[in-house]
């Protein structure tokens, strides 16, 4: 049997350091580009929706002596409608129309605004995780399912396995500040930072020393689940979740791959690892430090525990995606609440009826009431 090899010569430690630094800088550069694209898209979307809202704003009634065409929808609107009771009904409708500027109405072409860092991370992940998935699966194809002999599993370095370790370390180092800046719960951040820290320590050792690349790439196959999970948020970001068959298919693939490449893969990893170390300690444990002998299996135990915990909301999200319910709340592990489609429909109805409400307000007799400046609620 021919040992797995693609003729790759492992770089020196100095070159490996340069490669990891380039991976970090490159990941941060891609994050920056994605963030600028998100900001540019939001600015364009805001401008387009304000242009569509302008005719409805100009048609609203004005108090006696006021300019019938306010110079600014935000300023003139409150000044024009803050003096009569009937006008206040129109204010509510216009506030709903304003909310459509941020993409909160069902008829908008962009979903509700989320944390900019979270949305940037979605676009970055759409490029990053497919690459990691390809590198890990390509390496496993060369290694074979069993990885050959014990020596081949522990000491064979492929070009794809090396670059997988380098890009994984670089990308996750760049993801640490993004995780801290994202609008997520403290529990989520602690879990993700612990995951990153353990994985980086294990993979960076493999990149420098060249030991255990088979196990690194076997673990890396779980990134297929991360890719499919990111597709859920990407489709909602782009509005593709309205295509129910496509959304449900991705949910099914996510649920199935999660079972195979996490709940089954991590125990299999532990079985092969302990079988090798117990039967051939001079070929395996002799090349690991005492800390690594504990840290490597411990990392997979932690990943298995986290994956088991995350599988509950993943399963709930798959169920809700198939039946057209809110998958976001399920993926976050939140309790089922009112469907966002109901809120979106209400917002759209109010937006559509803004001009009609203005006409009704104009027909009502004006009653002087104290001015009360009302601002729409802002969502982060």
Q: Please tell me whether residues 241 and 101 are part of one structural domain.
A: no
pLDDT of res. 224: 96
DSSP string, 57-68: HHTS---TTS-S
pLDDT of res. 60: 54
Residue among 107, 312, 284 at smallest CA distance from 211? 284
Residue among 338, 320, 311, 316 at smallest CA distance from 244? 320
294 contact partners, CB below 8 Å, separation of at least 6? none
Note whether residue 315 is domain-resident: yes
What is d(CA 255, CA 316) in angstroms, rounded to the nearest whole number? 10
Note whether residue 71 is domain-resident: yes
Note whether residue 33 is domain-resident: no
Residue among 100, 103, 80 at smallest CA distance from 91? 80
pLDDT of res. 219: 94
3-state secondary structure 269-280: HHHHHHHHHHHC
pLDDT of res. 145: 80
Q: Please tell me whether residues 188 and 211 are part of one structural domain.
A: yes
Instruction: Check: pTM over 0.75? Answer yes or no.
Output: no
Note whether residue 59 is domain-resident: yes
What is d(CA 295, CA 286) in angstroms, rounded to the nearest whole number? 15
Q: Please tell me whether residues 100 and 170 are part of one structural domain.
A: no
Note whether residue 25 is domain-resident: no
8 Å CB contact between 81 and 61: yes
State both tokens at 275.
């079988």
Q: Please tell me whether residues 201 and 264 are part of one structural domain.
A: yes
Note whether residue 22 is domain-resident: no
pLDDT of res. 369: 47
Q: Please tell me whether residues 319 and 359 are part of one structural domain.
A: no
List Cβ<8 Å contacts ≥24 apart for 198-202.
198/295, 198/298, 198/299, 198/302, 198/303, 199/168, 199/172, 199/299, 199/303, 200/168, 200/169, 200/172, 200/173, 201/295, 201/299, 202/292, 202/295, 202/296, 202/299
Q: Please tell me whether residues 167 and 202 are part of one structural domain.
A: yes
Q: Please tell me whether residues 66 and 139 are part of one structural domain.
A: no
Q: Total structural domains in the chain? A: 2
The model's pLDDT over 188-237, given as tens digits with 9 standing for 90+, comes to 899 889 888 988 998 998 999 999 999 999 999 999 999 999 999 999 98
Q: Please tell me whether residues 231 and 94 are part of one structural domain.
A: no
pLDDT of res. 48: 65
**Cα dihedral angle (225, 230, 231, 235), rounded to 10 degrees?**
160
Note whether residue 18 is domain-resident: no
The model's pLDDT over 58-111, given as tens digits with 9 standing for 90+, comes to 565 554 444 554 444 444 444 444 444 444 444 455 555 555 444 444 444 444
8 Å CB contact between 85 and 149: no
Query: For every one of its 380 residues, what pLDDT tens digit does the chain have, with 9 covering 90 and above?
Result: 455 666 788 899 999 999 999 999 999 999 999 999 999 988 887 766 666 655 655 565 554 444 554 444 444 444 444 444 444 444 455 555 555 444 444 444 444 446 889 999 999 999 999 999 999 999 999 998 877 889 999 999 999 999 999 999 999 999 999 999 888 889 889 988 988 898 899 899 899 999 999 999 999 999 999 999 999 999 998 888 888 889 889 999 999 999 999 999 999 999 999 999 999 999 999 999 898 899 999 999 988 998 998 898 888 877 877 765 554 454 444 443 333 333 344 434 444 444 444 444 444 444 444 544 455 554 44
8 Å CB contact between 314 and 273: no
Note whether residue 16 is domain-resident: no
Q: Please tell me whether residues 280 and 197 are part of one structural domain.
A: yes
Give the structural domain span for 70. Answer: 39-110+340-363
State both tokens at 247.
């959304």
pLDDT of res. 129: 96
DSSP string, 144-190: -SS-SSHHHHHH---HHHHHHHHHHHHHHHHHHHHHHHSS--HHHHH
Q: Please tell me whether residues 316 and 257 are part of one structural domain.
A: yes
pLDDT of res. 183: 85
Distances (CA, A) of 86 to 75, 98, 350: 19, 19, 16
Q: Please tell me whether residues 119 and 105 are part of one structural domain.
A: no
pLDDT of res. 80: 44
Q: Please tell me whether residues 260 and 126 are part of one structural domain.
A: yes
């Amino acid at each position: 049997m021919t040992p797995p090899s693609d003729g790759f010569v492992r770089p020196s430690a100095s070159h490996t350091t340069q490669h990891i630094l380039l991976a970090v800088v490159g990941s941060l550069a891609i994050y920056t580009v994605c963030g600028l694209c998100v900001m540019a898209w939001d600015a364009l979307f805001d401008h387009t929706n304000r242009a569509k809202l302008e005719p409805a704003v100009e048609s609203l009634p004005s108090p006696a002596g006021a300019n019938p065409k306010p110079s600014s929808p935000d300023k003139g609107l409150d000044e024009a409608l803050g003096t009569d009771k009937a006008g206040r009904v129109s204010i509510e409708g216009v506030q709903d129309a304003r909310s459509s500027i941020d993409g909160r109405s069902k008829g908008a072409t962009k979903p509700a605004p989320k944390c900019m860092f979270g949305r940037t991370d979605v676009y970055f992940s759409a490029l990053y995780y497919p690459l990691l998935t390809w590198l890990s699966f390509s390496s496993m194809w060369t290694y074979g399912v069993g990885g050959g002999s014990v020596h081949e599993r522990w000491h064979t370095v492929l070009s794809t396995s090396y670059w997988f370790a380098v890009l994984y370390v670089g990308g996750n180092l760049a993801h640490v500040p993004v995780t801290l800046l994202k609008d997520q719960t403290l529990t989520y951040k602690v879990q993700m930072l612990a995951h990153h820290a353990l994985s980086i320590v294990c993979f960076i050792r493999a990149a420098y020393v060249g030991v255990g690349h088979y196990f690194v790439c076997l673990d890396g196959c779980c990134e297929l689940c991360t890719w499919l999970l990111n597709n859920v948020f990407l489709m909602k970001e782009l509005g593709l979740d309205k295509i129910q068959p496509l959304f449900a298919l991705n949910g099914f693939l996510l649920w199935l791959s999660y079972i195979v490449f996490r709940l089954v893969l991590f125990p299999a990893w532990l079985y092969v690892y302990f079988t090798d170390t117990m039967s051939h300690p001079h070929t395996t444990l002799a090349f690991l430090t005492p800390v690594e002998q504990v840290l490597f299996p411990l990392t997979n135990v932690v990943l298995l525990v986290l994956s088991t915990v995350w599988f509950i909301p993943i399963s709930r999200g798959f169920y809700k995606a198939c039946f057209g319910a809110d998958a976001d709340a399920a993926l976050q592990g939140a309790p089922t609440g009112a469907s966002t489609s109901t809120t979106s429909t209400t917002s759209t109805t109010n937006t559509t009826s803004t001009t009609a409400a203005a006409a009704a307000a104009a027909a009502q007799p004006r009653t002087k009431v104290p001015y009360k400046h009302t601002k729409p609620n802002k969502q982060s």
